[in-house]
Structure 1
């Protein structure tokens, strides 16, 4: 299968790299020529734009910063979509928009998948990130070999659009967790508790989380560079709020989170790293929320392994406590 990859930013570039490491024939395109050149140096072919890539490839993956960017790319590709062609949307986007674009692809005889990722750039780089896939089962079976090169845990979530719903939910939860961790760490500092001790206390407790085990380290080291900017956070939490509004759910925390992130952008810039939100509290208290011994960059210490499909709990066998997996492959060479 020839694969096109459009969008080589913080996440997209790493996902494309995983495909290349696994011997996939990849043609790449990005508005940033330097990002394209870096992937060509790793073995990719250079594409001449979205239309040309769709013409040349069996599946085209997009990983772009906004729904508007995805729409522009899909509209450029549409005249060249035909039976057997697949569009795979790995951006975090609006569910109604991905369904609209997917319908346009289907009308041309192609197939569409929304397959956003979750787990951080450090796991995207090693192929150990998690992936949700929304599409019909037949299309999922077609793209699973590609997804299993880019991610470790792959969850088929049903029809197109459902993956995007789940993705904006997880990013909303991650943002809420980041903000509560900023408050918790600052209060512990004010109370005179050692922050290295605080980190370990949280990590071994009911209060731990993926966000704590990753972003708290970057906050405490002072690096504060998680490869995820405030404008992207605002896009994601805004999509979650839009989803709640669409379904008439009166949220209370979500508007406050949006308000806090808006203040962070006003202070540090729209493209500031999201974990700089700790600095709002540092400025308010005069405290320095840092501790020695924490890394300035995140490294995925899990060995890179071939991805596998996760079985949802509702489909698990009787008496099985946790979701199982099927099709787990051996460690990559």
Structure 2
């Protein structure tokens, strides 16, 4: 299968890297030409435009920072829509709005193509090794066609149902991760203020009912002080904003998520939209005069699970 990949950012670059590393015929495109040049040096082809990539490939993957960016690539000038025909597949790996991916998917289907929303979950470090989890929303026939490709990109692949279902589940999981991050920030600062050793605190959480994936990954970066999770505050705000919109459309009066949005809006106003999301703990550090730093924790996350072919779950 010839694959196009548009969007070589923190997540997209790592996913595209798995394709190239595993010998998939890959054509790439990004606003940053230096990133494209790096991939060309690793064996990828240079794409000239979204339309040209769709014309040359069987499937085109987009991994972009916002629904607006995806819409521009799909239906804008030289967008992929102009080259969609029977047999072509658009795979949206961005974290996006379900209603928007359905709208764009209908445009693709009207030209004879197929659309899939297939966001990932599990952190950039696992995207880099092909061990990330993937949700896939589409009809079963299309899912069967792309499953061999998805099992190169990720370790665990879940067919979630029709187009849009994967995006709904993805923003839900990001909401949960954000809530977990903020409660961990409060827990770590409070334990330091109470005089408890932070390395001991980390282990106590890790072996307890309070443990989580977020703790075992992001708490380590917080305690190291690097806070370099490769995910920025503006993206957190986008994702939990999408979850808020989803809940409002469904008539669910959320109580916690509006507070999460407020906290990250404050974090963006203090530290900037592109600040690392784990820097949100600085709000509490500054309010208390406490530094949440401990020895023995890594400055970056490395996935030590060997790369292996993925599978459907």
Q: TM-score range by the shorter chain?
A: over 0.9
> What is the deviation of 1:21?
1.2
Partner of 1:295: 298
Q: Hey, what's the Cα distance between the residues in 2 that align with 1:49 and 1:275?
A: 35
Q: Hey, what's the Cα distance between the residues in 1 that align with 2:38 and 2:11?
A: 14
Partner of 1:71: 71
1:108 is aligned to 2:111: yes
Q: Hey, what's the Cα distance between the residues in 2 that align with 1:49 and 1:292?
A: 48
Q: Hey, what's the Cα distance between the residues in 2 that align with 1:4 and 1:254?
A: 36
State how 1:312-331 maps to structure 2 within 5 Å: none
Partner of 1:22: 22
Q: Hey, what's the Cα distance between the residues in 2 that align with 1:79 and 1:32?
A: 23
State the secondary structure of the residue aligned to 1:218. Answer: helix
Q: Hey, what's the Cα distance between the residues in 1 that align with 2:130 and 2:62?
A: 17
State how 1:119-198 maps to structure 2 within 5 Å: 119-198=122-201
1:62 is aligned to 2:62: yes
User: Which runs of 5 or more residues in structure 1 are unaligned?
Assistant: 311-333
Q: Hey, what's the Cα distance between the residues in 1 that align with 2:140 and 2:22?
A: 24
1:88 is aligned to 2:91: yes
State the secondary structure of the residue aligned to 1:126. Answer: coil
1:253 is aligned to 2:256: yes
1:274 is aligned to 2:277: yes
Q: Hey, what's the Cα distance between the residues in 2 that align with 1:24 and 1:143?
A: 13
1:38 is aligned to 2:56: no
State the secondary structure of the residue aligned to 2:128. Answer: helix
> What is the deviation of 1:52?
0.5
Q: Hey, what's the Cα distance between the residues in 2 that align with 1:216 and 1:237?
A: 20
1:11 is aligned to 2:11: yes
1:232 is aligned to 2:239: no
CA displacement 1:44-87 (0-9 Å, x = unmatched) = 00000101101100000000000000001111111210000000
Which residue, out of 209, 226, 243, partners 1:206?
A: 209
Which residue, out of 221, 241, 253, partners 2:224?
A: 221
State the secondary structure of the residue aligned to 2:181. Answer: helix
Partner of 1:51: 51
Alignment RMSD: 0.5
> What is the deviation of 1:42?
1.0
Q: Hey, what's the Cα distance between the residues in 1 that align with 2:115 and 2:306?
A: 31
TM-score by length of structure 2 reads: 0.99
